[in-house]
Amino acid sequence: MPSHFSSSGSVEDSKALCNNLGIKLFTHPIADLVHQYARQFLDAFSQPLAGLPLENLQARIRGTILMEYSNAFGNLLLTTGNKSELSVGYCTLYGDTNGGLGLIGDLYKTEVFALSQHINEHAGRELIPQAIIVKEPSAELAPDQRDADSLPPYPVLDEILKLLIEGEGLSVGEYDSARRFTQRLQASEKGRELIQRVRLMVARSEYKRRQAPPIIRVRAKAFGSGRQMPIAARYV
Q: How confident is the model at residue 220 (pLDDT cuts 50, 70, 90)?
A: confident
pLDDT at 194 over 80: yes
What number is the average pLDDT over the span 78-84? 95
- Assess if residue 2 is contained within a domain: no
d(CA 181, CA 159): 7
d(CA 61, CA 6): 14
Segments of 74-190 assigned E as strands: 78-79, 101-102
- Assess if residue 44 is contained within a domain: yes
Q: How confident is the model at residue 236 (pLDDT cuts 50, 70, 90)?
A: low
Number of DSSP helices (H) and strands (E) in the chain, helices first: 10, 2
Percent of the chain exceeding pLDDT 90 equals 85
- Assess if residue 3 is contained within a domain: no
Q: Tell me the longest C-alpha to C-alpha distance in the chain.
A: 58
- Burial code (b: 16+ CB inside 10 Å, e: under 16) for 86-103 equals bbbbbbbbebbbbbeebb
pLDDT at 114 over 80: yes
- Assess if residue 229 is contained within a domain: no
174: domain CATH number?
Answer: 3.40.50.620
- Assess if residue 236 is contained within a domain: no
- Assess if residue 134 is contained within a domain: yes
pLDDT at 234 over 80: no
For 171-181, what is each residue's pLDDT tens digit?
Answer: 999 999 999 99
Residue 84 is predicted with a pLDDT of 97
Q: How far is CA 156 from CA 65, 75, 101, in A?
A: 34, 36, 27
d(CA 160, CA 83): 12
* In contact, 168 and 175? CB cutoff 8 Å: yes
Residue numbers of the domain that contains 59: 8-210
Q: In 3D, which of 115, 81, 124 has the Cα closest to residue 101? A: 81
Segments of the chain assigned E as strands: 78-79, 101-102
Average pLDDT of the chain is 92
pLDDT at 121 over 60: yes
Residue 95 is predicted with a pLDDT of 96
3-state secondary structure of 134: helix
Return all residues near 53 (Cβ < 8 A) that are at least 6 apart: none
- Assess if residue 224 is contained within a domain: no
Residue 221 is predicted with a pLDDT of 76
pTM: 0.89
- Assess if residue 156 is contained within a domain: yes
Q: How confident is the model at residue 223 (pLDDT cuts 50, 70, 90)?
A: confident
pLDDT at 225 over 90: no
For 82-111, what is each residue's pLDDT tens digit?
Answer: 999 999 999 999 999 999 999 999 999 999
Total number of residues shown for the chain: 236
Around Cβ 139, how many Cβ atoms within 10 Å? 19
> What's the domain count of the chain?
1
For 145-174, what is each residue's pLDDT tens digit?
Answer: 999 999 999 999 999 999 999 988 889 999
The one-letter amino acid at 59 = A
